[in-house]
Structure 1
Amino acid sequence: MGWLIAYDIADRRRWRRVHAVVVKEAYRLQYSLYWLPADAADARRLASVLETMIDPRRDDVRFYALPDAAWCRLWGPKPWGNGVIDPLCRRFEPCWRPGMPVDLAAVDL
């Protein structure tokens, strides 16, 4: 199982603290969007830590559960460096060559 983590933190200091925790646990996909390959217990543990760091009146942190069969096609810069291998990453199909055509009709939704 995996989790999509998204956050919008209003205060720069809190953002840096949240970012420092999330970046150690999850793969960065975009500015404040991460993929966490973890079971529900580990996701709850991370969510509990983040809950103590945010201001719930001003900040927004979300965890979206991804089923095991979930896939993602990536375009643009690599979200993680060369040589980074994770067994769960195989369901991500990289497409990092500029100008490569997108064939969404070939995707099994």
Structure 2
Amino acid sequence: MVYGYAFQQLNNGPIITALWTHNNAVWPTASGTCSPAYSTRYALTVDSPGTSGHVALIDMMGNPVSVAYANGVVNLTLTESPIYVVSRNANVFSGKYTAPIGYTGQ
């Protein structure tokens, strides 16, 4: 299963999407630890269809890398460790996600 959340920084800033995966069938392993080999593929829409470019991907230690996307989608490999995708087109997120209960925005 894939888990995540997304938010937009103030003043029409970039969108930051946090993503990770978890599967109770592989957590914990027989030795009581996380399976370092467990991962799942995930396609995240970051821009309009037909567009290409790059987004920043930040690992859980804060290390950024530039990752290419095509047709508005970046293909990711998710693990138990969260990653953060920084993108710019907030319109692609419109209507796809639910705000937390009680959230009123700024």
TM-score by length of 1: 0.28
Higher helix share: 1
TM-score by length of 2: 0.29
